[in-house]
Amino acid sequence: MADEGMFELYSDVNNKLKLDRTGDVKKDVNLEAIESAIENILLTRKGERVMRLEFGSVLEYYLMEPLSEATAHKIGLEVLDALSRQEPRVEVRKVEVVADHRIGGYQ
8-42 tens-digit pLDDT: 777 777 777 888 889 888 887 888 889 999 999 99
pLDDT at 81 over 90: yes
Q: Tell me the mean pLDDT in the region 52-75.
A: 96
Give every CB contact of residue 2 below 8 A, 6+ residues apart in sequence.
8, 29, 30
CB 91 within 8 A of CB 101: no
Please count the other Cβ atoms lying within 10 Å of the Cβ belonging to residue 30: 16
| Apex 75 CA angle, 74 and 78, nearest 5 | 85
Q: What is the mean pLDDT of residues 71-93?
A: 96
Supply the mean pLDDT for the chain: 90
Strand (E) or helix (H) holding 11:
strand 11-13
Q: Is pLDDT above 60 for 92?
A: yes
Q: How far is CA 28 from the centre of its chain?
A: 14
28 DSSP 8-state letter: E
Beta bridge partners of 12: 28
